Amino acid sequence: MSEEQGEKRLDSTEQFREIRDTYMDVWAKAMGELVNTEAYAKQSGATLDAYLAASQPFRASLEKAMVNALQQFSMPTRPDFISLAERLTNLEMRLDDMDAKLDRIESAVTKSAASSSNSEAPKPVAEREPSAHQIPEPAAKVEPAPSTGAPRATHASRKSKKKGGR
């Protein structure tokens, strides 16, 4: 008999779950119908407009206080971030333009090199003269800065120009 009582308890719990689910389905359907009416949309819009109109002075004073606090802590404000985002977008667009130009230049150089190599036989690697982009630049030297004693990188060719030129 104890098994039958356990099954009845499970059945009564299951019945309560079914009642709850039915109740939730009925309310969800009723609220869905209410919310999708034109009258509800108008009333909701009017309430939102009233709230925004009433909160506008408070929002303006809160924004001023926030800007002042951020400036006192030397932190960026929303206009600072917007300005920075615009500048970064401008730089990104310029880099994209430069990349496109370099691609066009590279394809033009490749085409001219291909047409010139067809007209003359290529020289062996040992006989070729190094071009400007193949010559390695001298390594940078590190010298202490005169005022602070901190290391400063200088280019060898600039150093020789300074000594010889003046």
pLDDT in tens, 64-112: 999 999 999 999 999 999 999 999 999 999 999 999 999 999 999 999 9
Provide the domain limits for residue 91.
76-114
The secondary structure of residue 153, as a DSSP letter, is E
Q: How far apart are CA 66 and CA 72, in angstroms?
A: 10
The answer to whether residues 64 and 79 touch, using CB atoms and an 8 Å cutoff, is no
Q: Is 60 part of any domain?
A: no
- Lowest-pLDDT range of 12-21, 70-79, 124-133, 146-155: 146-155
Comparing 35 with 7, the larger pLDDT belongs to: 35
Q: Is 58 part of any domain?
A: no
Q: Is 94 part of any domain?
A: yes
15: pLDDT confidence band, cut at 50, 70 and 90? Answer: confident
H-state helical runs in the chain = 2-35, 38-72, 78-119, 156-165
- Answer whether residue 157 shows pLDDT above 50: no
Q: Is 88 part of any domain?
A: yes
Q: Which residues pair with 154 in a beta bridge?
A: 141
Comparing 137 with 102, the larger pLDDT belongs to: 102
Q: Is 105 part of any domain?
A: yes
Q: What phi and psi, each to the nearest 5 degrees, are found at residue 98?
A: -65, -40
Q: Is 80 part of any domain?
A: yes
141: pLDDT confidence band, cut at 50, 70 and 90? Answer: low
Cα dihedral sign for 105, 109, 112, 118? negative
- Answer whether residue 133 shows pLDDT above 70: no
Please give the distance of CA 158 from its chain centroid, rounded to a whole number: 39
Tally of domains within the chain? 1
